[in-house]
Structure 1
């Protein structure tokens, strides 16, 4: 069960690496298309999206520490914190931005939390 939890946690981290890239380095190309923004709207929200990408990077960092820290208690704390933050952010995004965020972001995080606690 622990291995399944770690695999799902790594998947959530990778999803967020991609989100970070979409919101920062790839925003003017792929990011704009994925988020369905016209060039004009992208110009308006570019700096806010970059800032949001920074926060998503912090989620990736928490999950990475959770996956890599040698102390099991510390690893568990970072994993739970990271997955819980992703789940809450996903619910908020699903309510305020786009419903599909619930499937892309929230569901994997909740599955990861369930597997983590089951392990």
Structure 2
């Protein structure tokens, strides 16, 4: 029972994280807040705003899938959560290897914890 609750909490937190990333990348990319979060300059942010918005949209799809899993519940919700957490893990590992090691801790690690909890639930 405790593992199931922890799994739901982690899935919800990862969904919220990806909603936050969506907002940063789609709507706040040029702001000091987003530039600090991603370590970019004003010039880089301006030049890459369209690309960042596209990335934000993908993060929104990850969040939507995780939220769907929480709403669906049961076996379907569990399967959907595993699929989308695996997607987050793959994206986090790829980002950690190609963009910033920090992504491994911010995105991949929580997804890995969530997957373990989901498998134990």
Which residue of the partner structure matches residue 90 of structure 2?
Answer: 88
Residues 40-92 of structure 1, C-alpha deviation per residue, up to 9 Å, x if partnerless?
Answer: 1111111000000000000000000111114x121112101110000000000
| Higher mean displacement: 8-17 or 32-41 | 32-41
Which residue of the partner structure matches residue 63 of structure 1?
Answer: 66
Structure 1 distance, partners of 2:109, 2:30, is 28
Which residue of the partner structure matches residue 79 of structure 1?
Answer: 81
Aligned length: 118
State the TM-score, normalizing by the size of structure 1.
0.95
Q: Output the aligned Cα RMSD.
A: 0.9
Structure 1 distance, partners of 2:109, 2:37, is 20
Residues 73-115 of structure 1, C-alpha deviation per residue, up to 9 Å, x if partnerless?
Answer: 2111210111000000000000001001101100000000000
Structure 1 distance, partners of 2:26, 2:34, is 8
Unmatched tracts of structure 2, length 5 or more: none
Report runs of 4+ in structure 1 exceeding 6 Å deviation.
Answer: none
Of 23, 26, 29, the match for 1:27: 29
Unmatched tracts of structure 1, length 5 or more: none
State the TM-score, normalizing by the size of structure 2.
0.94
